[in-house]
Chains A and B, each alone.
Chain A
Amino acid sequence: MIGGPKNFALRLLLIAVFLAVWEAIVRVFEIPLFILPTPSNVFTALYRGIASSLYVDHVWITVTETLLGFVLGTSLAFMLGTVIALSRPVEYFLYPFVVMFQAMPKVALAPLIIVWFGLGLTSKVVNAALVAFFPLMVNTIVGLRSAEEDKVNLMKSLAATRTQIFWMLQLPNAMPYIFAGLEIAMIFALIGAIVAEFVGAQAGLGMLIQSMNFTMDVAGQFSVLLLLSLIGLGLNWIVIAVRRRVLFWDASQKFDADAAKKEAI
Chain B
Amino acid sequence: MDAIARETAPATARDVIAIRKLSKTYGGTGGGVTALSEIDCTVADGEFLSIVGPSGCGKSTLLKILAGLLPASGGEALLNGSPITGARKDIGVVFQSPVLFPWRSVLGNVLLPVDVQQLGRDRMTARAMDLLKLVGLDGFEHRYPWELSGGMQQRVALVRALIHDPALLLMDEPFGALDAMTREQMNVELQRIWMERRKTVVFITHSTSEAVFLGDRVMVMTPRPGRIGDLFAVDLPRPRPLDVMTTEKFGVYVRRIRKSLNAGGGLE
Contacts and interface: CB of A to CB of B under 8 A. Distances in A.
B117 A159 contact: yes
Contacts of B68: 156-157
Interface stretch (B90-98, B125-133, B241-249): B90-98
Contacts of B95: 150, 153-154
Nearest to A155: B116
Contacts of B89: 158-159
B99 A154 contact: yes
Q: Is the interface of B mostly helix, strand, loop or mixed?
A: loop
B147 to A, nearest CB: 10
A251 B146 contact: yes
Interface string B58-84: 000000100111000000000000000
B101 A251 contact: no
Interface in A231-265: 249-251, 254
A256 to B, nearest CB: 14
Contacts of A150: 95, 97, 99
Interface centre among A150, A158, A160, A173 (most CB of B within 10 A): A158
B144 interface: yes
B4 interface: no
Contacts of B93: 153-154, 157
Given A158-B89, A164-B116, A249-B102, A153 B64 contact: yes
Contact of A156 (B69, B115, B117, B146): B69
A249 B146 contact: yes
Contact of A251 (B86, B88, B102): B102
B115 A168 contact: yes
Contacts of A169: 101
A159 B64 CA distance: 13
A111 interface: no
A158 B99 contact: no
Nearest to A171: B103
A49 interface: no
B5 to A, nearest CB: 32
Contacts of B88: 159
A173 to B, nearest CB: 8
Contacts of B117: 158-159
Interface string B105-129: 0000000110111000000000000
Contact of B146 (A151, A157, A254): A254
A168 B116 contact: yes
B112 A157 contact: no
5 contacts: A154-B99, A157-B91, A158-B89, A158-B117, A173-B101
Given A155-B116, A169-B101, A172-B103, 4 more contacts: A157-B67, A159-B87, A159-B89, A168-B116
The 5 closest A-B pairs by CB, nearest first: A159-B87, A157-B93, A158-B116, A249-B102, A249-B103
